[in-house]
């Protein structure tokens, strides 16, 4: 059983320049909103901004991850801000929708649904990285984190199904692994991390929660606490890792 305890911010965390400046949380749904709140509570010198396709009037930024013009505008707005960008945490994801359901067998696979899965779960994260790259500096720390999923692990796939979602998350893992290797050369203080949050009680997982034991279904708050716990431990020499909510490595 996992012991849950309240996090006490250490002096090392509060003094680390990684957590002084601006943080962006993209995707203000269940996990995204909870991650933004968790970061705000832990790091008093970090200005946490949420952004997504739609949001409340006070939402800091808006971006449509499937629209190149919107991503370009997003980049321009970021460049106009003065504080150093310390973190971008991508919490966007897509599993199902009005015309999209995870495939149980091959005959349900079709081009349109594959494209929908890849657009958000694979293509969007690397384009977000491209949008913020002009803000990076060789001598300043920066974290790029993105939600992946254990079902995107090829090595851990023992049940099949969910063709599009699994493949899109696996593609994200490869794209961001490539990114981590490039940034290690060009921006040595940057860290790229792929994170599996565990099954969390959000709209994304709701249709599938009946298969999840109650003790393994996390609240968004609990998931966010675990994710930030893992993220603050990541350093440039650990970049490019695929980690579960408890810090354990997941097979690619």
pLDDT in tens, 156-180: 999 999 999 999 999 999 999 999 9
Q: Which residue would you say has higher pLDDT here, 12 or 128?
A: 128
pLDDT in tens, 176-220: 999 999 999 999 999 999 999 988 776 655 555 556 566 667 899
Q: End-to-end alpha-carbon separation of the chain, Å?
A: 26
Helices (H), 89-239: 111-118, 124-132, 163-186, 220-231
Q: Is a pLDDT exceeding 90 seen at residue 14? A: no
Spell 38-50 as b/e; 16+ CB within 10 A means b: bbeebbeebbbbb
Instruction: Give Cα 105 to chain centroid, integer Å.
Output: 28
Helices (H), 187-231: 220-231
pLDDT in tens, 36-76: 999 999 999 999 999 988 655 555 688 999 999 999 999 99
Question: Which overall architecture, per CATH, does domain 11-244 show?
Answer: 3-Layer(aba) Sandwich (3.40)
pTM: 0.88
Closest residue by Cα to residue 18 from 10, 27, 26:
10
At residue 2 the predicted structure's pLDDT band, cuts being 50, 70 and 90, is very low
- Give the residue extent of every domain in the chain: 11-244
């Amino acid at each position: 059983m996992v012991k849950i305890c309240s996090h006490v911010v250490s002096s090392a965390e509060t003094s680390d320049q990684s957590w002084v400046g601006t943080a962006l949380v993209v995707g203000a749904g269940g996990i995204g909103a909870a991650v933004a709140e968790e970061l705000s509570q832990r790091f008093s010198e970090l200005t946490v901004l949420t952004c997504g396709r739609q949001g409340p009037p006070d939402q800091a930024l808006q971006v449509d991850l499937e629209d190149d013009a919107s991503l370009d505008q997003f980049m321009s707005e970021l460049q106009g801000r003065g504080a150093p960008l310390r973190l971008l945490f991508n919490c966007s994801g897509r599993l199902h929708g009005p015309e999209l359901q995870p495939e149980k067998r091959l005959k349900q696979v079709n081009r349109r649904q594959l494209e929908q899965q890849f657009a958000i779960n694979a293509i969007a994260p690397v384009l977000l990285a491209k949008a913020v790259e002009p803000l990076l500096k060789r001598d300043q720390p920066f974290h790029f984190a993105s939600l992946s999923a254990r079902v995107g692990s090829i090595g851990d796939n023992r049940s099949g199904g969910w063709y599009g979602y699994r493949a899109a998350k696996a593609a994200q893992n490869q794209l961001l692994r490539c990114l981590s290797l490039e940034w290690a050369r060009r921006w040595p203080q940057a860290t790229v991390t792929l994170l599996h949050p565990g099954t969390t009680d959000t709209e994304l997982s709701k249709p599938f929660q009946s298969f999840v034991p109650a003790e393994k279904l996390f609240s968004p708050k609990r998931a966010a606490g675990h994710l930030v716990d893992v993220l603050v431990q990541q350093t440039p020499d650990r970049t490019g890792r695929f980690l579960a909510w408890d810090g354990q490595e997941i097979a690619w």
